[in-house]
Chain A
Amino acid sequence: MTLLLTTILDPAAEKSIWSLTSGEDLLWVMVMLFVTVATGLLLAITLYLSYILRKALAPEPAKTKAADTRTTWQRFTGLHELSQEEDLKMDHEYDGIAELNNPTPPWFMGLFYATIGFGVVYLLIFHVIGNGNIMEQEYTQEVTIAEKEREAYIKLVAGKINENTVTLLTDKKGIEVGQVLFNQYCTACHGQNAEGKVGPNLTDEYWLHGGTMKAVFHTVTEGVPEKGMLSWKKQLNPLQVQQVTSYILSLQGTKPAGAKEPQGDKVEPVPATPKVAMQ
């Protein structure tokens, strides 16, 4: 829908409004079609009603007609009165089972033709008008939109935070958010209390890839793929990395139970510089 609207509203957009690229767009086109058909039906019904009304006001002499006595509803559903059943019975029985020669219900045929129509339209849209690369197009479009949103957001909240400008957070709120993030993403490898599991102990003074704010920020953001440390820059934005890094560094010297043996080089504990977190 978004695509459809933007292309209609924005004539500068490259895509023609006819190149539907997602199932959702198709759905909206179908909905519009249905609305059109419904409007047409409504018009027809109004005309019919006015016709009946005129007829009732100025009655014509009745014409004789060998009529189907069924109501419109009965005709639509393809049903006959049960009393007429004997006439519909076919001259054949199978182990006592008789068959009636009822027609296929008109609504049923309508449904069948409508679905066939849907199939033809679907294939036309995606494989005759479109180039047939449905998934690839949908994906690229989805990711492009998301990237734009992401950039806009980061600019707004975390634009100034990067490896060189990052600072240690000491406010309670920032550290708490960092703790939530840590519990969510990091405990699988570093343990519930950062005591170290598959990954190293993060509470001692020993660091494999540096223990300064900058170094830890870098390790979390980029990861150390050859050692199994993931790069988190896609899951966490710089603000979040700052929070989780600050939480990790706040754990220095907590000596949790079952702590893993020290790995790497000793780094002096980070001095807790009292600095107000960014707004």
Chain B
Amino acid sequence: MNVSINQPTAVTSPNRATGSIAIGHQPPGGDAAVERFAYDNRIVRDFGVATIIWGIIGMLVGVIVASQLFAPAANLGNQYTTFGRIRPLHTNAVIFAFVGNAIFMGVYYSLQRLCKARMFSDLLSKIHFWGWQLIILSAVATLPLGLTTSKEYAELEWPIDIAITLIWVVFGINMFGTIIKRRERHLYVAIWFYIATFVTIAVLHIVNSMEMPVSFLKSYSMYAGVQDALVQWWYGHNAVAFFLTTPYLGMMYYFLPKMANRPVYSYRLSILHFWALIFIYIWAGPHHLLYTSLPDWAQSLGVVFSIMLIAPSWGGMINGLLTLRGAWDKVREDAILKFMVVALTCYGMATFEGPMLSLKNVNGIAHFTDWIVAHVHVGALGWNGFMTFAILYWLIPRMFRTPLYSKKLLNFHFWIGTLGILFYAIPMYIAGFTQGLMWKEFTKESVLKYPTFLETTLQILPMHMMRAIGGTLYLLGAILMGYNLFKTMAAGKLVANEEAEAPALPKLYTPTGGDTFWHRALERKPFPLLVGSLVVILIGSLIELIPTFMVKSNVPTIASVQPYTALEVQGRDIYIREGCVNCHSQMVRPFRSETERYGEYSKAGEFVYDHPFLWGSKRTGPDLHREGGKYPNSWHYHHMNDPTSMSPGSIMPAYPWLITQKLDISNTADKLTALKKIGVPYDDPTISYANEDLKKQAVGISSQLATEGIKVNSDREIVALIAYLQRLGTDIKKMETIQK
């Protein structure tokens, strides 16, 4: 499989230094065979260029999305660029395109050097690179079209999910191939983090992406309601852990000592925080579901494991910052190190804030508000963004054997980027805190002080404008970096194959002394290390997931809860297509303020037919779980056509295309069949007469609208959407009537 350009050639080096010989290397005086080979820099360059380009695109989409939150007209009146559809594009572009490519860039550069070996296969590297870019392109093509599973950070439809799995396996083979043919006995801490990343992301992605396909680009999540939510946030939280954190910690452990030319502060600390981090992180997902219908015990696990995460995640920050001990004079001079210091500080802040947000009383205020948006952006802009910038600025001049084009621009980028983060984060904290408290405030008359949700939204619009300015500053910095780095590349010449040499690793090896410790032993055995990481992450996952699936009492059933009708299923799919879940939650929490505002709080048994769950994670508009029957059909019609007509000042975009577009009913029966396969009890007549039932219900709604003077054909999308909205949260009311 080895298709390296430079095949290793064994030569005997007569002048091998006989000074300090590290463990595992040939003893001096022996016939140490030094092998010559070359590191593949081309693939690192490719991933680097992709990082820059996708980073700028992702951030640009972010600025557009942010603008729509105070000027809905920024969607250009176009369904393909409306908030609900391109907000996932922004998150996916930043997480998987910008950060993803940066991870591969960092891994491909450092892994080769830490293993003293070229990547296992140039062909696999190329397949990995182009495969990943194609996946990103397919996301860019499908998300604006409304082809989405609606599960956060896993919105891509099933064929793309399969492609991601395949490319991930390619990456894994390439990585393990390189590790196996290494010329270094022990695996450096960075590689442990890479291995844990690989194995955990594989598990998370596969489990979370279990879907039942309806057609080539439509599927339903295999899980329903509470289970779907738990799996989703087990995935979502650990995507942060194992995509945005562990690979970056690995990269930090390689690039920071290199940049500062300092030894790593503590080997022992790195062992402790590595194992503690991967073990504890995997349990903490339920803190995204506090005060929801998730059983109390699962929520409590989420709380306590999030608190226990402080020390393990800070371990990485401390080890990084203390590595800079004795090099702080360099930090003053060197903007690249400044980027690293801010990155580590942001990491420390975000990983302190995370556990605090997991305390239920804090979460009760912060959840569903901009506070969470601020929190994730401190992580993304600071930790991931700034470290990526530092690595790019450090790598590219080295691989192109030329000094950076402009140091002034580099400094300017650092300051404008930092300013951008501050302008972004501070207003969002204020906005989140303000809105969270406004939602909860009662007057002395014991009524909600701000009963209209919209009032609280209008209050924070100035903060949204500041946020967009902060985002623009940050984007500007990234564009300047792109210019600076492309100029640098143009000035130099890529050393595509960087010459290197190292003695071959002898097969026979007898560990001695401190080398026999159990952790030391793991460090020379990549596969046991892989299995060890897998076991450690599976313990937490299984304890959380299995009981929720197996124990019936976790999801008490409610007799009056029935499956959606065919028309409602179609309406729900339009709701999913338009990304309504990005702004509206469907989860009334057991708070007095929420039951007063929305109605009875949501029960686990109400969601048993919800594939996927649509609880949402951020409220830009009010909760919709008790929307059914609250307003007449005509209210919804007007509200979709022109939201400001029903809610003056609303920042919801208009959805006129729902009124003109015809509902596609060619797949109604297929949809019901697919849902039946995953446990929704539709009987055969319901499926075979699906479209007849659908039309009957649609005619009912459109004739009802006609009595209120609204002429709309029964075959339009708006009718299906109204049917779904009017059904929301009403089943439980039937139960009350029965009991009465």
Contact = CB atoms under 8 A, between A and B. Distances in A.
B296 A101 contact: no
Contact of A225 (B308, B592, B629, B646): B629
A52 interface: no
B648 A187 contact: yes
B302 to A, nearest CB: 11
Given A115-B311, A153-B446, A236-B447, A108 B318 contact: yes
Contacts of B590: 135-136, 138-139
A140 B366 CA distance: 22
A82 interface: yes
Contacts, number: 185
A171 interface: no
Contacts of B305: 119
B272 A104 contact: yes
A118 B307 CA distance: 8
A96 B258 contact: yes
Interface string B290-319: 010000110110011101111110110010
Interface in A195-231: 197-198, 225, 227-228, 230
B267 A90 contact: yes
A116 interface: yes
A116 B307 CA distance: 8
B596 A235 contact: yes
B91 to A, nearest CB: 29
Nearest to B590: A139
Given A23-B360, A100-B266, A228 B631 contact: yes
B657 interface: no
Given A24-B361, A112-B311, A150-B446, A132 B296 contact: yes
A102 B268 contact: yes
A184 to B, nearest CB: 6
Contacts of B15: none
B297 A99 contact: no
Contact of A97 (B264, B325, B635, B708): B264
Contacts of A136: 590
A100 B311 contact: no
B257 interface: yes
Given A97-B188, A104-B272, A115 B263 contact: no
A265 interface: no
A139 B592 contact: yes
B630 A230 contact: yes
A57 interface: no
A167 B162 CA distance: 69
Interface residues of B, number: 74
**Which of B276, B305, B360, B452 gathers most chain A CB within 10 Å?**
B360
B254 interface: yes
A227 B707 CA distance: 12
Nearest to A150: B446
A115 B592 contact: no
B257 A97 contact: yes
Interface in B428-446: 442, 444-446
Contacts of A133: 296
Contacts of A172: none
Nearest to B629: A225
A192 B647 CA distance: 11
Given A94-B184, A149-B446, A198-B632, A143 B595 contact: yes
Interface in A206-262: 225, 227-228, 230, 234-237, 239-240
Interface string A72-99: 0000000100100100011111111111
B114 A94 contact: yes
Give the most central of B114, B308, B355, B630: most A CB within 10 Å: B308
Contacts of A143: 592, 595
Nearest to B290: A135
A101 B267 CA distance: 6
A185 B448 CA distance: 12
Contact of A92 (B186, B266, B303, B452): B186
A24 B360 CA distance: 9
Contacts of A157: 445
A101 B635 contact: no
A90 B515 CA distance: 11
Contact of A98 (B263, B355, B601): B263
B361 A23 contact: yes
A239 B300 CA distance: 43
Contact of A119 (B114, B307, B629, B648): B307
Given A23-B360, A150-B446, A188-B647, A92 B318 contact: no
A102 B297 contact: no
Contacts of A24: 361
Contacts of B635: 188-189, 198, 228
A111 B311 contact: yes
Contacts of B114: 94-95
Interface string B242-274: 000000000000100110000111111110100
B45 to A, nearest CB: 19
Interface stretch (A37-45, A59-67, A120-128): A120-128
B36 interface: no
B297 A240 contact: no
Contacts of A115: 307-311, 355
A103 B267 CA distance: 8
Interface in A134-151: 134-136, 138-139, 142-143, 146, 149-150
B20 interface: yes
A7 interface: no
B326 interface: yes
12 contacts: A23-B359, A23-B364, A24-B361, A90-B267, A99-B267, A101-B267, A104-B266, A104-B268, A126-B300, A142-B592, A228-B632, A235-B596
Given A99-B267, A127-B297, 17 more contacts: A85-B326, A89-B263, A92-B186, A95-B116, A97-B263, A103-B266, A108-B311, A119-B304, A119-B305, A122-B304, A134-B300, A135-B296, A154-B446, A184-B452, A189-B635, A192-B648, A235-B596
Interface of B: 20, 22-23, 110, 113-114, 116, 184, 186, 188, 254, 257-258, 263-270, 272, 276, 291, 296-297, 299-300, 303-305, 307-312, 314-315, 318, 322, 325-326, 355, 359-361, 364, 442, 444-448, 451-452, 590-592, 595-596, 601, 629-632, 634-635, 638, 645-648, 708
Q: 6 nearest interchain CB pairs?
A: A119-B304, A150-B446, A228-B632, A112-B311, A23-B361, A98-B263
